[in-house]
Chains A and B, each alone.
Chain A
Amino acid sequence: MDFSFTEEQELFRKSVREFCEKKIAPKANEIDEKGEIPREVVEDMASFGILGITIPQEYGGSGADFITAAIATEEIARADISMATAVYYLVEAGWGFLMDRYGSKKAKEELLPDVTKGKTFLGIASTEAAGGSDVAAISTTMTKEGEKLVVNGSKTFISGVREATKYGGGYVTVVKTSQELAHKGLSLCYLPVKDIPGITTNIFKQMGREGISTGAIIIKNVEIPSHYLIGDWNKGFYYAMEGFNCARPLVAAACIGAAGKALEAGIEYLKERQAFGSPLAKFEGIQFQVAEAYAKLESARLLVYKAAWMLDQMYTKKRFRHKEINKAVASAKLIAPTVAFDIIKDVLIWHGAYGYTKEAGLEKGLRGVASYIMGAEGAQNIMKLIIGRELLGKEFAPY
């Protein structure tokens, strides 16, 4: 067993960190305050080759594996702990990979180069007003009408709606294609949203990660070409679950990136800040918290990179069954956001009243990480259900 990264991965981390410190970190406060990632940051990420990083080179990506993608996620979230920039990046990395795997050649040639160039946004549209966790109950429909596909329904709590409607882009969208079937009646399609007749959107005001928008998409008789079908008809549930398995380790990586940066800042502060004649770091009660934070962060980090490594092993060496991947990914996604939230909260408290200010730069991390406790890319209880199902067997699944 070898826990070390390869020389190339280490060098890549160094490169991404340098890039992020120069291009993202100086804009982190602006991203949170203005509620938008400046276009030059998106363009810089594209020039640096990290947008759609898992997408193959023929479409302008880097064909990165998931360990590499997770390294970049962690570093981006360190630079912008509000998580907004990391979310923009990781949604494309996770779902771009799926789009490449199952999308039609024509759709990939048409759509993916603009994603990797940073011109358009690629996201995931799964959740509906009735709920996000119960994917099988999705009611947005897609029907075949001649050479076209017609989509009707609505999606909500979707990341990047403003970006995709303003600059161009669309969504890997989960739709019902056979009413009589439950999850086996779902398909995936690519749904463009900019200047498309029948598409209207709403943007939500959220408590955190405001730099990337979240909103709803109302879809009324939207016609899309047949090559926008992703994979086979009625196989969408399995593709979607695979896509979530690709995106979730990256979500978890973003959480540990933000928490890691906060912990570093916290440790520096504890060494400097004096109270009752000595640095805060000398108080045993504080040291115990630091130690616990570190141990929890390292545990979450191991889960993140184990899940990413297993995905890479599955895709390149056909190792591990989906059952094993499901458990590893769900464990990382279950633990990392909670650990990250707790660490950032503790660091914020160590800073006292200063921690409660915007200037300390910590509260935006707490607000951002919270989104992944609430449920983005899969609710925490769903992660528990996945782990429970894989441990106990399908016959014990409650739903």
Chain B
Amino acid sequence: MDIIVCIKQIYDLGQIKVDTASKSPITEGVARKISDFDKNALEEAVRIREKHGGTVSALIGGTKEAAKEALAMGADEAVIYSADTDSLGTATILAEIIHKMKYDLILCGEASIDEFSFQIGPRLAQAIGIPVLTYARKIELNDGEIVVERGLENRYELTKAELPALVTVTKEINEPRIPTLLQILGASKKKITEISPPKPEAGIETLSITAIEMNRKEIILKDTEELAKVILSASK
């Protein structure tokens, strides 16, 4: 079973501060990390390989630091590409890279936790012409088929498709491993390839990002009776 995992490196959102004047996020000096659901996808890929054999290739939209982390978590090789573009552009780049690779299964996180567009998996599957099964909370493989339990808003849905297929995973699917020292040291011997694919024309350009202002209402209540009234009216 040869598996490709698509990984995006993002800013650690918990560390981002907002500039009080411009309301823009300050990213300078902020640590970066692998997007949470992409870690779940990588963990699932490694678990499938551990059970069924094969290889795990990580396609990293990010830096060498993310590639090393992915390798330490268990990927066999990493390919780093730059993708300063929108979701369609990124899916196009990924499709071109994947076109030259051997695979049975492609795993993605359901979305990146910085943009939450939920688009990469479906767009990529469309670009390469394979089935896509989204929001996977459980995956099983047998005889060239993949069975996926999808976690939807108010129900679980059991679906299956023939391989090759693309699956996007949710956080529920597993708990990603934290690489140990020996895994980190072992990763330094694995292959990292850096490529610079041509940037597709951007369909959507992000012009600015501005924090939503949350001003306190600063209402002063006279007594608990008044407080009770406010709570009651809010709960209606």
A residues adjacent to B (C-beta < 8 A) = 7-8, 10-12, 14-15, 18-19, 22, 48-50, 53, 57, 62, 64, 68
A and B contact pairs by CB, cutoff 8 A, 14 listed: A7-B64, A7-B68, A7-B188, A8-B68, A8-B185, A11-B65, A14-B69, A15-B184, A18-B178, A22-B178, A49-B182, A62-B180, A62-B182, A68-B181
Let me know if B179 is at the binding interface, CB within 8 A.
yes
Within the complex, the shortest CB–CB distance from B166 to chain A, in Å, comes to 28
Question: In the complex, which residues of chain B have a beta carbon less than 8 angstroms from the beta carbon of A12?
Answer: 181, 184
How many residues of B are in contact with the other chain, CB < 8 A?
13
Contact A64:B178 (CB < 8 A) given known A7-B64, A7-B68: no
CA distance A8 to B181 in the complex (A): 8
Report how many A-B pairs have Cβ atoms within 8 Å: 41
Whether the Cβ atoms of B178 and A49 lie closer than 8 Å is no
Whether the Cβ atoms of B65 and A53 lie closer than 8 Å is no
Question: In the complex, which residues of chain A have a beta carbon less than 8 angstroms from the beta carbon of B181?
Answer: 12, 15, 49-50, 53, 62, 64, 68
Question: In the complex, which residues of chain B have a beta carbon less than 8 angstroms from the beta carbon of A68?
Answer: 181
Q: Which residue of B lies closest to A57 (CB)?
A: B182
Question: In the complex, which residues of chain A have a beta carbon less than 8 angstroms from the beta carbon of B68?
Answer: 7-8, 11
List the 6 shortest-distance A-B pairs measured between CB atoms, nearest first.
A49-B180, A62-B181, A19-B178, A18-B178, A15-B179, A11-B184
CA distance A11 to B68 in the complex (A): 8
Within the complex, the shortest CB–CB distance from B46 to chain A, in Å, comes to 15
Question: In the complex, which residues of chain B have a beta carbon less than 8 angstroms from the beta carbon of A49?
Answer: 180-182
Within the complex, the shortest CB–CB distance from B35 to chain A, in Å, comes to 15
CA distance A170 to B38 in the complex (A): 44
Question: In the complex, which residues of chain B have a beta carbon less than 8 angstroms from the beta carbon of A48?
Answer: 178, 180
Question: In the complex, which residues of chain B have a beta carbon less than 8 angstroms from the beta carbon of A15?
Answer: 72, 178-181, 184
Q: Which of B64, B69, B181 has the most CB of A within 10 A?
A: B181
Q: Which residue of A lies closest to B31 (CB)?
A: A14
Within the complex, the shortest CB–CB distance from A90 to chain B, in Å, comes to 15
Beyond the given A12-B184, A53-B181, could you list 11 further A-B residue pairs with CB under 8 A, ordered by the A residue number?
A: A11-B65, A11-B68, A15-B72, A15-B180, A18-B178, A48-B178, A49-B180, A49-B181, A57-B182, A62-B181, A68-B181
Q: Which of A11, A18, A68 has the most CB of B within 10 A?
A: A11
CA distance A134 to B16 in the complex (A): 52
Within the complex, the shortest CB–CB distance from B44 to chain A, in Å, comes to 19
For window 43-83 of chain B, which residues contact chain A by CB distance below 8 Å?
64-65, 68-69, 72
CA distance A258 to B60 in the complex (A): 35
Within the complex, the shortest CB–CB distance from A380 to chain B, in Å, comes to 32
Question: In the complex, which residues of chain B have a beta carbon less than 8 angstroms from the beta carbon of A50?
Answer: 180-181
- Residue in B65, B179, B180, B182 whose CB lies within 8 Å of A7: B65
CA distance A82 to B65 in the complex (A): 32
For window 179-196 of chain B, which residues contact chain A by CB distance below 8 Å?
179-182, 184-185, 188
Question: In the complex, which residues of chain A have a beta carbon less than 8 angstroms from the beta carbon of B178?
Answer: 15, 18-19, 22, 48
Whether the Cβ atoms of B69 and A11 lie closer than 8 Å is yes
CA distance A15 to B72 in the complex (A): 10
Whether the Cβ atoms of A11 and B72 lie closer than 8 Å is yes
Within the complex, the shortest CB–CB distance from A101 to chain B, in Å, comes to 19
CA distance A14 to B182 in the complex (A): 14
CA distance A11 to B69 in the complex (A): 7
Question: In the complex, which residues of chain B have a beta carbon less than 8 angstroms from the beta carbon of A11?
Answer: 65, 68-69, 72, 179, 184
Whether the Cβ atoms of A8 and B182 lie closer than 8 Å is no
Question: In the complex, which residues of chain B have a beta carbon less than 8 angstroms from the beta carbon of A62?
Answer: 180-182
Whether the Cβ atoms of A8 and B180 lie closer than 8 Å is no
Q: Which residue of B lies closest to A62 (CB)?
A: B181
Within the complex, the shortest CB–CB distance from B94 to chain A, in Å, comes to 25
Q: Which residue of A lies closest to B72 (CB)?
A: A11
Question: In the complex, which residues of chain B have a beta carbon less than 8 angstroms from the beta carbon of A57?
Answer: 182
Return the CB mask of B158-193 against A: 1 if under 8 Å, else 0. 000000000000000000001111101100100000
Q: Which residue of B lies closest to A71 (CB)?
A: B181
CA distance A304 to B181 in the complex (A): 20
CA distance A11 to B179 in the complex (A): 9
Question: In the complex, which residues of chain A have a beta carbon less than 8 angstroms from the beta carbon of B182?
Answer: 49, 57, 62
